[in-house]
Structure 1
Amino acid sequence: MTAPAIETAADGDALGAAVFTIAADGSYGARLAGEGDARFPERWTLDGPEPYAVPLPADQPEEPDTGLLPLADGRVLIHRRHGGASHVFGGGGGRHSFSLLYPTGPRTGELPVGAVECERLALLPPAPDGSRAYALALGEATTTVWLVAGGAFGPERVAEVAGHCSGGVWLDRTGRMLALDREADGVTKTVAVDLERGGEVTPLLQIAEGSNDRLLLADADSGLLLIRSDAPGHDRLGWGVLGSMLPVRFPECLGPSDCAVTPFAVQPGQELMPENCAVALRIDGAAGSWVGVWRPSGRRLHHLAAPAGWLAGAGLWTREGVLRLPYATGAVPCGVAPVEAPEDVVVTETAQVERAGGEPSAARDTPVVCKPVPLQQAPLTGRGARG
């Protein structure tokens, strides 16, 4: 495979690390700008005629692993770690404080919203309603979901799940159903957590008994799921449909041997048409990082050059199929590059029309995803197990 000419990802950017976070409705973005010991939060406005950035510096520089999450009202939640830190899951023990930042004239307004005392804690992706923010705290035997912004009285425990959980994908547009990757007995499976029923847990992915199955992305409009699993024999990227008994597919084109492929955005607005959703992927290889675009119905991974200064792994789709990629360079400190989704020659076969039109795995016995609880039935008693 030949990679296109691209700009290498920024130094220190680990694969999968969120260097730029976009609000649930695409209105704002936030990142930690600056370098070295001079880092500060920066908010981008994305829904106007031209993107622009507003610095939100505090009285002192921020640590490199400070967490940021933009809300739909323009405020930015900041997560600071005190008494020890790690770059991904806030380790080292101590205190985790949260504040809301907002521009006020030439200065930065800061509204403290509380703190959580725990050893390891990380922000979850922006909640679909745009007004709340959640975090995941790991304990010795359980994982706690905290509402850290948007509640009435500061941080609140909303769910406690048995086992060690990671990831975090929202399954609906209300912020009720949260998917987490839970490790138990050395195997990782994705479960759905109902935040309105005290954290009631329902199995979501059970591709094979001993396989490690993780949910990477979900689209509430179409039901499309992007999954990583070692069920085919080694770690592969696959796709399925929420609520379906159809096999999980592991397309060959999503498993290049010389690159790491990570999905980061799904085209919205494709109700009941998961096969037509365009998926944006970050591709990391020896030449750097670039963009991939793929649709289940097309069976082809398109390789596209990323804009210079792309904040690798960040971007969002419009309903019309335009991928918007944020970038920052010396000449353009705040930019968004539009990329039209390439057209696909849709492959249709009579034998597969009833199987969601997707590409089968190369394996003869395609693993089947166990049917997850449909969102509208999730609150029903007896459909899930506590903890």
Structure 2
Amino acid sequence: MTACAIETAAEDDGAMWPTRFTITANGAYAARLAGSGDALYAERWTLDGPEPYAVPLPVGQPEEPTARLLPLADGRVLVERRVDGDRHTFSLLYPTGPGTGELPLGAVAAEELTLLPPSPDGICAYAMVVGRDTTTLWLVAGGAFGPEQVAEIEGRCTGGVWLDRTGRMLALDRRLDGGPVKAVAVDLERGGEVTPLLQITDGSTDRLLMADPDSGLLLIRSDAPSPGHERLGWGVLGSLMPIHFPECLRLDDAAVTPFAVQPGQVLQPESCSVALRIDGAAGSWVGVWRPSGRRIHHLAAPPGWLAGAGLWTPQGVLRLPYTTDGVRCGLAAVEAPTEPEPAPPEPVVCRPVPLQQAPLTDRKAAG
């Protein structure tokens, strides 16, 4: 499982949004805005070779700081630009000879638009537009005729986590009629059909931060254990297993945010290594934690770390992207610390999550 760098947006609902460095779902490519001041440009990183390398993708004029980038599995980079106030244009950038090729895809009119994380299929790209009472999902790359609306969902949504490896099932954090935020599953092959995903208590705020399809591990943030104070917890997708809120993930003087989960741990959620971005008064550093353990291993981040970005190999090596004056494109490798022995799960603090209601297996279309 790979992830883009993330940070907490300055919004009342505590939504999580991508920052400047985004990695494809298969870990092959990444993209970011490089440069400085008024000379910003798109830059693509290749991560799956013997050594990482970066390719600049400048166009006729510098990119605005508000431009958003999303890498695709074929090496092209989607760029979203805001123009004329409420118009968002989309283009695909790709290296061509000494220059940069650009394929315009069209535009979506919206006051606010958010690119969703890279789709697991590596081909499609989606955007979310939040209206007053509904949320609209758009396919902005990978379609036949430019941007097309694929779903309209009741309520105001934030977040965005893929639940499978095909790009069919998407989890969103939804607020209905001013009520609490609840994560729901959206089936993109059934016109955006919505089913409950997280429901710890009736009044709790339950957000999904990350999901690993191999192991079923879910990382959530909820105020169910202590109303008014959201805590980091974990559960298992499609299981009656309750949510756990480990005390070790609760730091009084720092914010803890997961950004990558070790893939390939089939049906072994407790064994997955999870990379954490930890932000405190001294800066940002890396934490590594497993659900089977009772502690966070605190690790120094490499100089120039693109904070909140990284990916695991199935063998348990954490690769952290960084850039310095001497190294334009680097990946630091960190071995997952070994645990002396698995610790038993903590006592149940909440009733089970109804994850079995989510339509995570193929079903015949309604007749």
TM-score grouping bracket, smaller chain normalisation: over 0.9
Contact 2:182 2:207 in 1 (8 A): yes
Find out whether 1:169 has 2:156 as its counterpart.
no
Distance 1:373 1:122 in 2: 27
SS of residue paired to 1:34: strand
Contact 1:282 1:292 in 2 (8 A): yes
Find out whether 1:339 has 2:326 as its counterpart.
no
SS of residue paired to 2:151: strand
86, 105, 115: which is aligned to 1:113? 105
Find out whether 1:260 has 2:261 as its counterpart.
no
Find out whether 1:359 has 2:346 as its counterpart.
yes
Give the residue type in structure 2 aligned to 1:206. Answer: Q
* Per-residue deviation, 1:36: 1.6
* Per-residue deviation, 1:24: 1.2
Find out whether 1:228 has 2:210 as its counterpart.
no
Distance 1:110 1:101 in 2: 5
210, 213, 217: which is aligned to 2:206? 213
Contact 2:25 2:122 in 1 (8 A): yes
193, 197, 204: which is aligned to 1:200? 193
Give the residue type in structure 2 aligned to 1:372. Answer: Q
Contact 2:21 2:309 in 1 (8 A): yes
Find out whether 1:139 has 2:126 as its counterpart.
no
The aligned runs of 1:1-387 (5 Å cut-off) are: 17-84=18-85, 94-184=86-176, 185-233=178-226, 234-349=229-344, 358-360=345-347, 365-373=349-357, 375-377=359-361, 379=363
More strand by share: 2
Distance 1:16 1:155, change over 3 A: closer
Give the residue type in structure 2 aligned to 1:163. Answer: G
Q: Deviations over 1:117-138 (max 9, x none)?
A: 1111110000001011001111
Give the residue type in structure 2 aligned to 1:142. Answer: T
> Which ranges of structure 2 fall in alignment gaps of 5 or more residues?
11-15
Contact 2:273 2:290 in 1 (8 A): yes
Distance 1:204 1:16 in 2: 20
2:13 corresponds in structure 1 to none
Give the residue type in structure 1 aligned to 2:325. Answer: G
Contact 2:271 2:291 in 1 (8 A): yes
SS of residue paired to 1:135: strand
Give the residue type in structure 2 aligned to 1:359. Answer: E
TM-score (norm 2): 0.92
Give the residue type in structure 2 aligned to 1:101. Answer: L
Distance 1:378 1:251, change over 3 A: farther
Contact 1:231 1:367 in 2 (8 A): no
Distance 1:259 1:218 in 2: 23
* Per-residue deviation, 1:83: 2.8
SS of residue paired to 2:152: strand
* Per-residue deviation, 1:34: 1.1
TM-score (norm 1): 0.87
Contact 2:261 2:311 in 1 (8 A): yes
Distance 2:48 2:280 in 1: 32
1:88 corresponds in structure 2 to none
SS of residue paired to 1:275: helix
Contact 1:194 1:379 in 2 (8 A): no
Distance 1:225 1:380, change over 3 A: farther
Contact 1:205 1:372 in 2 (8 A): no
> Which ranges of structure 1 fall in alignment gaps of 5 or more residues?
1-8, 85-93, 350-357, 383-387
Distance 1:345 1:378 in 2: 40
Percentage identity across aligned positions? 70
SS of residue paired to 1:253: helix
Contact 1:172 1:220 in 2 (8 A): yes
Give the residue type in structure 2 aligned to 1:25. Answer: N
* Per-residue deviation, 1:186: 3.0
CA RMSD of aligned residues (A): 1.8
